[in-house]
C-alpha cells in the first residue's frame, strides 16, 4: 500500500521562526528523509513554499476563480509531503510518529486510492 504524509504547518509560523530554529528543523527533516530513503519506503518528499505564493482555483457559475495566497481563512498550510510505498497502516503510523514535524506541526496520514471510494 501507499500513503501520503502531509505536514500541516500553522499559517504564518515560518515567518515567525528564528533562523537557527528554521535551520535546525530543516536539518532534522533532511536526516529523517535520508533514513526513509535508506529503508526503501520513500518514493518522494518535498517541502512546499509558503501559502503566500500559492493560488487556489475554484469553479463558480461556469467560471474558474483564482485566489492568490495567503489564504485568510486557513489556519494551517501544507508545508510538505512524503509519499511512502510498500507499507501497511501500522508501518505508516510508526513512520509518521517518528517524523520530526510532529513537534511543530500536524502530520496527516492518508492512504492513496481511487477518489470514488470512501
Q: Is 104 exposed, middle or buried (0-12, 13-18, 19+ CB in 10 A)?
A: middle
For residue range 53-92, what is the model confidence (pLDDT) as tens digits?
899 999 999 999 999 988 878 899 999 999 999 999 999 9
pLDDT-derived band at 118, boundaries 50, 70, 90: confident
Strands 3-10 and 106-111, how do they pair? antiparallel
SS (HEC) of the chain: CCEEEEEEEECCHHHHCCHHHHHHHHHHHHHHHHHHHHHCCEEEEEECCCHHHCEEEEEECCEEEEEECCCCCCCEEEEEEEEECCCCHHHHHHHHHCCHHHHCCEEEEEECCCCCCC
**CA gyration radius for the chain?**
16
Q: From residue 29, give the alpha-carbon distance in Å to each of 60, 105, 107.
A: 39, 12, 13
Instruction: Tell me the whole-structure pTM to 2 decimals.
Output: 0.90
For residue range 27-43, what is the model confidence (pLDDT) as tens digits?
999 999 999 999 999 99
> Structural domains in the chain?
3-111 (3.30.70.1060)
Per-residue pLDDT at 110 exceeds 80:
yes
pLDDT-derived band at 112, boundaries 50, 70, 90: very high
Average pLDDT, the chain: 94
Which comes out higher in pLDDT, residue 18 or 71?
18
Whole-number pLDDT of residue 8: 96
Whole-number pLDDT of residue 51: 87
* 84 neighbors 2 (Cβ within 8 angstroms): yes
Amino acid at each position: 500500500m501507499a500513503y501520503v504524509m502531509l505536514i500541516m504547518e500553522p499559517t504564518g509560523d515560518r515567518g515567525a521562526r528564528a533562523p537557527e530554529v528554521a535551520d535546525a528543523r530543516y536539518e532534522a527533516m533532511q536526516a529523517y528523509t535520508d533514513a526513509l530513503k535508506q529503508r526503501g519506503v520513500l518514493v518522494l518528499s518535498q517541502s512546499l513554499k509558503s501559502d503566500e505564493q500559492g493560488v487556489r482555483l475554484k469553479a463558480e457559475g461556469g467560471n474558474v476563480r483564482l485566489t492568490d495566497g495567503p489564504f485568510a481563512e486557513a489556519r494551517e498550510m501544507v508545508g510538505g509531503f512524503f509519499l511512502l510505498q510498500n507499507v501497511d497502516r501500522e508501518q505508516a503510523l510508526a513512520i509518521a510518529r517518528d517524523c520530526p514535524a510532529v513537534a511543530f506541526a500536524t502530520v496527516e496520514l492518508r492512504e492513496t486510492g481511487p477518489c470514488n471510494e470512501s
